[in-house]
Amino acid sequence: MTEMRGRAAQGQRTREAILKTAVDVASTEGLEGLTIGRLAAELEMSKSGLFAHFGSKEELQLATIGAAREIFVDEVVRPAFENDAGLPRLWALLDSWLQYAEAGIFKGGCFFAAASAEFDGRPGPVRDLVASTMREWLGALERGVAEAQTAGHVEATADAAQIAFELNSITMGANWAFQLYRDRDVFDRARTAMAARLAAVATPAARRILPDSGAAKGR
Amino acid sequence: MTEMRGRAAQGQRTREAILKTAVDVASTEGLEGLTIGRLAAELEMSKSGLFAHFGSKEELQLATIGAAREIFVDEVVRPAFENDAGLPRLWALLDSWLQYAEAGIFKGGCFFAAASAEFDGRPGPVRDLVASTMREWLGALERGVAEAQTAGHVEATADAAQIAFELNSITMGANWAFQLYRDRDVFDRARTAMAARLAAVATPAARRILPDSGAAKGR
């Protein structure tokens, strides 16, 4: 029993190590670049050893997206939830996103922006998983705005879905510019844009939750 | 002489027909999917016939980016320049971008957003051409804001580069959402966001140039 459990645990560790490398390969070379052969070479494993963990390229792609989602939740979402619901939590979510993008948690920039661009025109389970994972993120932003409305931090008349669309657009624009031009100033631009967008709908007392720059800069 | 000119003209027409197909293939399958073999099959031409026009895959990729740029200029930039310099021209530029994205001028959505995501991690001439072409677009947006300042349509204190970054981010966010979810509402969201962003820095008299929705919606 103990030996079997030991083997299962080792199998799990191997699987995790494979997925860690797979996430890095996919973030720079795309999910299509994630062939069993390419990954076996990178990990110095046999192809058949890899096949024991993932029966097909598609299964490997789906598991890699799941692993990237876990990393994103650990790096961006979970830390934000240590803050009070409302504008503090929403701002923390945006701030951790900016830190995640600037720190280069994924070698090729935001994993999900890249995966979206790669798979948006290719129907199938990979595209569906990318789309549903991104819906979770958009949902988290929209819920963040709605909670800020409930907490009295954001005007009740504000359109939470519209604001979530705009905040997500700013993350897309910042990730795009940083990946293409390696110019770190885009994170200041993005922070300024996010703070100004929220300052425009924040109740007067709640504006102090946002960084100072927000209301003044870029206007 | 006439015959030679006729042949040169026919060669040019063939080249243009090849590039038209290449743009479509690249916009859905990526610039890496643009192999001489793949394109020869699509066009029912011989590989050697294609090689006569483009000596290598990279040359084909570069020519395809150039052809996509021409289409973008014809569809988005040129029509906007029929409007007066200042907010009318800037708004026309954004409005034609939205129409271009919604009409699906490129099968796979915005050609340059896709090409950026595909090549931002791959140094070389293809990446450089994508980056410089996108700089032209960002430059056009920034110049549009600056001209609107000169015309007295936008407050002189506004940060043109910041606004250009934000307007471009909205195009990125809209293209992403439409490609992944096929939800046409994102174009209304994008239009609302762009109009509101510009209304916030427009001089009082110039606000009438923007669509009504801008100042009110999403706030």
Mean pLDDT, all residues of chain A: 92
Residue of B nearest to A185 (CA): B162
pLDDT, residue B1, reads 53
State the pLDDT at residue B183: 92
Between A and B, how many residue pairs show a Cβ–Cβ distance under 8 A? 134
ipTM confidence score: 0.92
Which tens digit of pLDDT belongs to each residue from B163-215? 999 999 999 999 999 999 999 999 999 999 999 999 999 999 999 999 975 44
* Residue B82 C-alpha, separation from nearest chain A C-alpha, in angstroms: 28
Whether the pTM exceeds 0.90: the reply is: yes
In chain A, the residue whose alpha carbon lies closest to the alpha carbon of B181 is A131
> Which candidate in A24, A28, A172, A217 is best for mutational testing of the B interface (most B CBs within 10 A)?
A172
Residue B9: pLDDT above 90?
A: no
Q: Are B76 and B98 in contact (CB under 8 A)?
A: no
A-chain residues within 8 Å CB-CB of B168? 173
Look at residues B219, B202, B213 and name the one whose alpha carbon lies nearest to residue B87: B202
pLDDT digits (tens, 9 = 90+) for B54-80: 989 999 999 999 999 999 999 999 999
Closest partner residue to A134 (CB to CB) among B29, B180, B219 is B180
Residue from B176, B186, B191 whose CB has the most chain A CBs within 10 Å, to mutate:
B176
Taking Cα atoms as reference points, which of A91, A113, A201 lies closest to residue B116? A113
Whether A108 sits inside 8 A of B130 (CB atoms) is no
Nearest CA in chain A to B180: A120
Least confident of A84-88, B17-21, B146-150: B17-21
User: Is the predicted pLDDT of residue A115 greater than 50, yes or no?
Assistant: yes
pLDDT in tens, A11-59: 888 999 999 999 999 988 889 989 888 899 999 999 998 888 998 999 9
pLDDT tens for B96-135 read 999 999 999 998 889 999 999 999 989 999 999 999 999 9
